[in-house]
Amino acid sequence: MSVIYLVLPLALVIVGAAVAAFIWSARSGQFDDLDTPAVRVVHDDKD
Amino acid sequence: MVTEVMREAAAPATSPDTTCAHCGLPVPAGLRDDSVVDQFCCSGCRTAYAILNEHGLGKYYSFPERREAPVASSGRSFEEFDHPAFAERYVREVRGGRSRIELYLEGVHCASCVWLVERVPLVITGVVRVELDVRRSLAVVEWNAADVPLSAIARGLDQLGYTPHPFRGVERDTMRRREDRAMLVRIGVAGAIAINVMLAALALYAGDANGMDPAFARFFRWVSFVLVIPAFVWPGRIFFIGALAALRTRSLHMDLPIAIALAAGFVSGAVNTIRDAGPVYFDGLSVLILLLLAGRFLQQRAQRMATDSAELRHAVAPLSARVVDGPVTRALPVEALVPGMVLDVRAGESFGADGVVGSGQSSVNVALLTGESRPVAIAEGASVFAGTLNVQAPVRVRVEECGESIRIARLLRAVEDSARRRAPVVLLADRMAGLFVAAVLVAAALTFVIKWRIAPAHALDDAIALLIVTCPCALALATPLAMTVAMGRAAGRGMLIKGGDALELLSSPGTLVLDKTGTITEGVTAVVSCEGPEWLRPMVLALEEGSSHPIADGFRRAWPGVQAMTASSVRHVSGAGIEGAVGGRRVRVGSPRFVAEWATRVSADARAAMHMNPTMTSVHIAVDGEVVAVAAIGDRIRDDARQSLDHLRSQGWRTVMLSGDAQDVVSAVAITLGFAPSDAVGGASPEEKLAFVERLKARRERVVMVGDGVNDAAAIAASHVGIGVHGGAEACLATADIYLTRPGLSPLVELTEGSRRTMRVIRRNIAFSLGYNVIGATLAVAGLLTPLVAAVLMPASSVTVVLASWLGGTFSRSRTA
């Protein structure tokens, strides 16, 4: 059971990484416009 | 769903050879050219098609979903876009010497629009990047100013059917975007913490039930304590800031009881963690922070949706004026005008500055400023005001006042002032909050004192448990959620509500003050009746063809299906009428005096129709020297006005008509619509309207002002609830609490009934959450409240309120959504 002392902090580090990634994506504006990217991808071509 | 309908309507599968190669709509017979493959419905589509093919963008035509509307380019030169004053206001410099602007585009609909607009860099060299936000029709354009002027880009977009307008709200938009991102980050952090604290709590509860090594229990308590600290100092901080602000201004705010409960929970949890005994409430607290933040975010977004749509709408208002410069005229942004310039204002355009008519005769629609529905004649030397509409003929105007000193700007400052003076409305939930704080603090103190006598060991624990379990989470969510849902549904029904307080104020009857022109009436000159033979109609239309006079427009709108004949030797007589030859007969249309000069005989029908409503302007129609028809021209009362007003009166509303129009016109309309004679006030200037509303307010009446013009704006701002109607002026929309996107007065009925239902849902929500709190408080006082019970009870009350808000009938659901 004492493995919890190692695993739980490790899990929290991973959570911290996920939260950091979310903060980065929110601050770089990836949630500003939730409609256009969805329609943009429909007609995307390689030009 | 909408596109499905459009495609069906636009695809005449039976004759594919006659559809427009660009937009797919049927090609009118007159434009069909059988010698070529590609057919076009209009020259706009032809141009757009040529541009796309020339630049290898033919792929556009392979998309199943396209914009199925003819390309309606404005054909303007957009030269004002190149002026330094324009650039200073709207264009920003970005890295690499590029310029950047945000443009509002007309006609953006679907995925293929995104594709096409974002490929503009391929069409216009010098444009580096275009990015389109399809929901808001806002495009960010970046270009090299050295390679291409902005006007060329604007013309290019215009030719493709996306007429551009500068977006005025850039600053506010950036600020909001920053706020939104910060809120999103807070919710994300609060969510991550809540989930992990709950996991630790789960382990603790399971340990309680099955026995756990105290060392592990201590570990999990410490983990949840450490985790919950960032939730308090980062996302949760806003509640403490709000509570402090409320304390400082000595006002009641929901943040105060929330902050008390959060602080009590945190401090007692921290103490209990350190001394390793007693309950910790960290799971409940972290979930609470998350729920409260999410609720606040949703409410904010719903309110913005309402303001945004009104703002985007008035971003379309014209911003330029044509300045006469020697032999040529140039378009300039209104910001660049200076006194002494001479403007060329065509019929149908509005004036860009206050000034004096230098040459020309015309009539002006000043309804925006005064509410007067009949056009006012102007001649050389007459004063004209910015924002009013030149109706009849081109005039030259010498600029006297511009910028901040124009009359309309002064009026707008009055509007801002009265908006600032408006007393803040104390919402039901906030009023409850004050009582609530007092009751909870008293109950906690009593619990402590009484328990101290009976069982001193539990006194402090029980008092703190009481403080925590009574955290008004559900109470705090009750009002905003119900209002958010109601506002969202109302928006779907064409009623944009900017603040929840308007709903509360509309839920019980008061005094409803209505403007006349444009609110009760349609605000445009229309043919209300025309007594005379039908064979006249093609002849009248023939004479009026090509005339931009409001009466000519009125005839065209009154008889939409009638095909005009052709007229010859047409002569306009300013201020009198028009005459000409149609089908071999002489026809005269105009004022009774003008027609009587020439027509001596009067037909029996026409004579019978001559005595009519004094509020209408008579137009006589004569053929070959005989008056054969009489038309009544005026501002038509909206079809649903009588019914809606009667309904509102039956609910207990007092209705008052307050108009800038002449008293005789106002009285006549009042009789038709059942207003009491004392409640029909005419000839009111914008300042008098404001004073009228202030007088009502001084008598402690609840005043709802409904209007459409700048002349109503100050009164709208001063009233308890201001409502701007469909097609209203910018200032009016900006200050109104509610803006109707649907014409007519029936939305008013829906608003009052919807508000009443919303308030019922809110009261029910408050009853629910108070019920939960009573149960929780009883358990706490009895010493039965374990952390597990608290953890279940607190979110359960919030979820009940969320469900009740969602399911409660407020506004009927939108038909289009």
Pairwise CB contact (< 8 Å): B192 & A18: yes
The predicted structure's pLDDT at residue B316: 41
The predicted structure's pLDDT at residue B426: 55
User: Residue B376 in contact with residue B364, Cβ under 8 Å?
Assistant: yes
pTM as predicted: 0.68
pLDDT tens digits for range A3-45: 889 999 999 999 999 999 999 999 998 888 888 888 777 776 6
In sequence order, the 6+-apart residues with CB closer than 8 A to the CB of A16 are none
C-alpha triplet B669, B673, B679: angle, nearest 5°: 75
The predicted structure's pLDDT at residue B368: 62
CA distance B599 to B620: 10
And the tokens for B758? 């919303």
Pairwise CB contact (< 8 Å): A43 & B114: yes
Q: Using a CB–CB cutoff of 8 Å, tell me whether B114 touches chain A.
A: yes
Residue found by looking up tokens 């009285």 in the block:
B667
The predicted structure's pLDDT at residue B315: 44
Task: From B288, B280, B244, B238, select the one nearest B262 (Cα to Cα).
Answer: B288
Task: From B709, B809, B699, B713, select the one nearest B756 (Cα to Cα).
Answer: B809
Residues of B in contact with A4 (CB under 8 A): 216, 219
* Successive 10-residue mean pLDDT values, chain B, 817 residues: 40 55 80 79 86 87 78 80 83 87 82 86 90 84 92 91 78 82 94 94 88 89 94 93 86 79 89 88 88 80 63 52 81 77 83 87 74 75 84 86 71 58 58 80 88 82 79 74 80 77 86 89 80 85 78 81 81 81 88 84 80 74 88 85 92 91 85 90 87 91 86 84 78 76 86 90 86 86 78 78 79 48
Task: From B92, B57, B49, B93, select the one nearest B73 (Cα to Cα).
Answer: B49
The predicted structure's pLDDT at residue A12: 93
The predicted structure's pLDDT at residue B422: 47
The predicted structure's pLDDT at residue B7: 42
And the tokens for B668? 């006549």
Q: Compare all CA atoms of chain A with the CA of B139 and give the residue at the minimum distance.
A: A36
And the tokens for B317? 């208002």
Q: At what angle do helices B282-314 and B170-210 cross, to 10 degrees?
A: 160
Q: At what angle do helices B473-492 and B255-275 cross, to 10 degrees?
A: 140
The predicted structure's pLDDT at residue B10: 42
Residues of A in contact with B181 (CB under 8 A): 26-27, 29, 31-32
User: Residue B73 in contact with residue B163, Cβ under 8 Å?
Assistant: yes
In sequence order, the 6+-apart residues with CB closer than 8 A to the CB of B711 are B367, B368, B369, B370, B371, B411, B515, B660, B685, B686, B689
Q: Out of B114, B196, B213, whose CB is closest to A39?
A: B114
Pairwise CB contact (< 8 Å): A12 & B59: no
Residue found by looking up tokens 């970005």 in the block:
B94
The predicted structure's pLDDT at residue B189: 96
The residues with which B567 forms a beta bridge, in sequence order, are B582
Distance from CA of B631 to the nearest CA of A (A): 51
Pairwise CB contact (< 8 Å): B181 & A26: yes
The predicted structure's pLDDT at residue B16: 47
